[in-house]
Amino acid sequence: MTAPPPIPARRGATVHSLSRLAGVSVSTVSRALKDDPRIAPATRRRIADLAREAGYMPNVLARSLSGGQSGLIGLVNGPMQNPFYAELLAEAVNQAAERGQRLLILHAGTGPIEDRTSEALLHYRVDGCLVASAELSSRAAAICAERGVPLVMVNRVARLHASAVSCDNEAGGRDVAKFLLAGGHRRPALVLGTVGVSTSDGRERAFIARLAEAGLRLALRLHGHSTYEGGHAAGTAIAALPAGERPDAVFVLNDIMAMGLLDAVREAGLRVPEDLSVVGFDDVPAAARRCYGLTTLAQPLGTMVRRGLDLLAARIADPALPDESVTLRGQLVVRHSARLPDPARAG
């Protein structure tokens, strides 16, 4: 028995095929699909029905080449091994979709944004870009400024032709120091993230300044490289110190490092918070898990992304708007990884 011939694959409908089906010009179809009032309502409805039946999808890249907006927003994100950036990606995708926009991920990792990434912003005709990781080179920023591609930094301080939305990192650092001082800690330590990043620098600077006001200096300063493994190594080093030299508290500049540190010190037999208090920064979902119970400074991530998209939308609509910086206050979330303040020391 002869097998029936295969059903030919259906090709995507175009404005040209729709014009043949409707018996009208290509320009009429194009205007009707844009709901142009110059086309009679009955014709617009008929063409819309034909487009729906034919499975027509507009080519946003072709539209952008003809001078329109693509609806694409570029995202330069941090390493996905850090749950903070995974959460940021989820927020950005959901919030952009609510606005009828789509994200194009241009970078996700450590290290500076290379000039070729900025060239990709132009090649893909993105309307604007959220930059949530690293720093722009001066050439990359200049390319985007010259071509009218607005940039908004999220979780970064603005530099080089960009607006920005960030948590108040300095206020957060001071809040953590105040909390530890109120808990009676006298030998605080610090675990750094990525050196030279504006957010980490602000947290470190304010934390140390608040300790100095209380007459204290850091007992120890270690590098955690913004990774779980780096935090674990810092915890191992702290646990190996003699009890008399060991810090009694540690401020870890992000949660992924703090979780690595907590695992390491507990594996070494130290009790948290009896032997060592630990405070992080970010409040990623895993920080609330019972195995960590991490006290941490929560960043208002959803609001940061929303304000970032607002700033971007305004500059897409009016490229002449000046750069703007927005700083949002974080909130200390107290769990059970740090000793609670003594009411007599509070304030």
Residues of the chain with pLDDT > 90, as a percent, come to 55
For the ranges 60-69, 120-129, 147-156, 235-244, the lowest mean pLDDT is seen at: 60-69
**Is the pLDDT score of 61 beyond 60?**
no
Report the pLDDT value the prediction gives residue 118, as an integer from 0 to 100.
Answer: 60
CB 42 within 8 A of CB 56: no
Q: Could you give the residue range(s) of every CATH 3.40.50.2300 domain in the chain?
A: 72-167+301-328, 169-300
Q: What are phi and psi of 82, to 5 degrees?
A: -90, 115
pLDDT band at 3; cut points 50, 70, 90: very low
pLDDT tens, residue by residue, 251-262: 999 999 999 999
Overall average pLDDT of the 22-40 stretch:
87
pLDDT band at 134; cut points 50, 70, 90: low
Class of the CATH-defined domain 169-300 = alpha beta
Q: Please tell me which residue, 161 or 135, carries the higher pLDDT value.
A: 161
Report the pLDDT value the prediction gives residue 120, as an integer from 0 to 100.
Answer: 65
Q: Please tell me which residue, 305 or 3, carries the higher pLDDT value.
A: 305
pLDDT tens, residue by residue, 224-265: 999 999 999 999 999 999 999 999 999 999 999 999 999 999
Dist. CA 235–CA 205, nearest whole Å: 22
For the ranges 5-9, 101-105, 128-132, 169-173, the lowest mean pLDDT is seen at: 5-9
Overall average pLDDT of the 205-214 stretch:
98
CB 85 within 8 A of CB 284: no
Q: How many CB atoms lie within 10 A of CB 274?
A: 8
**Cα 227 to chain center, whole Å?**
16
CB 198 within 8 A of CB 168: no
Q: Output the average pLDDT for the chain.
A: 86
CATH hierarchy code of domain 15-58? 1.10.260
Antiparallel, parallel or unpaired: β 295-298 and 331-333:
antiparallel
Report the pLDDT value the prediction gives residue 13, as an integer from 0 to 100.
Answer: 77
CB 323 within 8 A of CB 161: yes
Report the pLDDT value the prediction gives residue 107, as an integer from 0 to 100.
Answer: 74
pLDDT tens, residue by residue, 67-85: 556 788 989 888 889 999 9
**Is the pLDDT score of 9 beyond 50?**
no
Report the pLDDT value the prediction gives residue 122, as an integer from 0 to 100.
Answer: 61
Tokens 């010009």: give the residue.
25
Task: Please report, as a single letter, which amino acid is at residue 239.
Answer: A
pLDDT tens, residue by residue, 285-344: 999 999 999 999 999 999 999 999 999 999 999 988 998 999 999 999 999 999 998 776
Pick the CATH number of 72-167+301-328 from 3.50.50.60, 3.40.50.720, 3.40.50.300, 3.40.50.2300: 3.40.50.2300
Q: Please tell me which residue, 271 or 137, carries the higher pLDDT value.
A: 271
What is this structure's pTM? 0.79
CB 230 within 8 A of CB 258: no
CB 223 within 8 A of CB 197: no
Nearest one of 285, 228, 220, 233 to 257, comparing CA atoms: 228
If DSSP codes are grouped into helix, strand and coil, which group holds residue 103?
strand
Q: What are phi and psi of 188, to 5 degrees?
A: -80, 145
Residues of the chain with pLDDT > 70, as a percent, come to 84
Q: Could you give the residue range(s) of every CATH 1.10.260 domain in the chain?
A: 15-58
**Is the pLDDT score of 215 beyond 90?**
yes
Report the pLDDT value the prediction gives residue 5, as an integer from 0 to 100.
Answer: 45
Task: Please report, as a single letter, which amino acid is at residue 313.
Answer: A
Overall average pLDDT of the 139-152 stretch:
77
CB 125 within 8 A of CB 147: no
**CB burial class (10 A; 0-12, 13-18, 19+) of residue 326?**
middle
CB 130 within 8 A of CB 309: yes
CB 321 within 8 A of CB 314: yes
Overall average pLDDT of the 148-169 stretch:
84
Distances (CA, A) of 59 to 29, 48, 127: 14, 16, 15
Report the pLDDT value the prediction gives residue 191, as an integer from 0 to 100.
Answer: 98
